[in-house]
Amino acid sequence: MFGYIKAYKPELKVREDEYYRAAYCGLCRAMGKCYGCRSRTTLSYDMVFALLCRIAISGETPELYVGHCALHPLKKRPFMKISPELAFTARASVLLAYAKLSDDVNDERGAKKLAARVGRAFLKKGNKKAKRELAELSEQINSGLTELSLLEARCEPTVDRPADLFGGIMANVLSHGYDGADKKISRKIGSHAGRWVYIVDALDDCEDDEKRKRYNPFLMLYGACPTEEQKKAVIDVLTAELNEIRNALDLVDEGERRDVFAILENMICYGMRNSAMAVIGKDKNK
């Protein structure tokens, strides 16, 4: 995954920050325990967002504990105990990482292609296990990425269509196993979060893609990287996506899980906006 969906820690309360770190470290430990230590290298903050969304929607209340981490042996850290939603997110993380690496093997060249091959080899065994456990979702992810690759190969001058396809992949991940209102809400969150990630990632890669003569939807649409005026329109689109995510989350009953909702609110209102503006203004060191 990409790692753009992060919390903005200066705005988190102490207990919220602890819960956020527990979710991240708990997901990391779950991936390592179930799919091997090498799978931990593919962990991203985007999937922590997915985990917290599924916890919010399902009503699950995972327990936290304090323990040691092999990477940080001197100080105890908070961890989230294995729960159905944590176990699911660990499986989905491996499936998405393997599919993304396979896509990079086909699309990249040189050192990046080699790195993707090596990473995919390390994840092969874990992916087989996760695929057995989530066969339907694995098929949805792979077919979605295949459709996205075919669309990109046609070099159509559009950002919306590939963003919609990636949004569909994330909608399938967030809504897997749900039905009724929960499915509708989780699909809406996943769809708009996926669209947001695709657009930000495309904008982030635009200059590099232009130099290397690779596909980028903004290059197809504008013929070059977006100008400052065009970036304003992109900001409006990204803001609209965040509003849709927040509106969908407002439909979920908060109950006693205030910390989870506070973290998600932080990620949507501060963290994602901060990530987007860092990408948009990176050429000016903003």
Tens digit of each residue's pLDDT (9 = 90 or more) over 117-161: 888 888 888 888 899 999 999 999 999 999 999 999 999 999 999
* Nearest Cα residue to 88 out of 37, 124, 136: 136
* Nearest Cα residue to 97 out of 127, 118, 71: 127
Which tokens belong to 233?
A: 């329109």
The chain-wide mean pLDDT, for the chain, equals 91
Beta carbons of 200 and 231 less than 8 angstroms apart: no
Give me the pLDDT at residue 181, please: 96
Q: What is the number of helices (H) and of strands (E) in the chain?
A: 11, 2
- From residue 32, alpha-carbon distances to 126, 197, 234, 251 in Å are 10, 25, 38, 34
pLDDT tens per residue, range 61-86:
999 999 888 777 778 889 999 999 99
Is residue 212 within a helix (H) or strand (E), and if so which, with residue range? helix 180-212
Rounded to two decimals, what is the model's pTM?
0.92
State the average pLDDT over residues 205-217.
92
Residue type, 142: N
- From residue 103, alpha-carbon distances to 108, 138, 145, 157, 267 in Å are 8, 14, 8, 21, 28
- Cα–Cα dist 152/217, whole Å: 8
Chain position carrying tokens 């708990």: 26
Backbone CA torsion sign across 111, 113, 116, 118: negative
Give me the pLDDT at residue 197, please: 97
Query: Is it the case that residue 286 has pLDDT exceeding 50?
Result: no
Is residue 152 within a helix (H) or strand (E), and if so which, with residue range? helix 135-153
Which tokens belong to 152?
A: 């990109």
- Cα–Cα dist 114/58, whole Å: 40
State the average pLDDT over residues 201-220.
94
Radius of gyration of the chain (CA): 19
Query: What does the chain come to in residues?
Result: 286
- Cα–Cα dist 124/42, whole Å: 13
- Cα–Cα dist 281/204, whole Å: 10
Give me the pLDDT at residue 1, please: 58
Chain position carrying tokens 């819960």: 19
- Cα–Cα dist 237/217, whole Å: 15
State the average pLDDT over residues 10-33.
93
- Cα–Cα dist 162/183, whole Å: 23
Instruction: Tell me the sheet residues that pair with 77.
Output: 67
> Strand ranges (DSSP E) for the chain?
64-69, 72-80
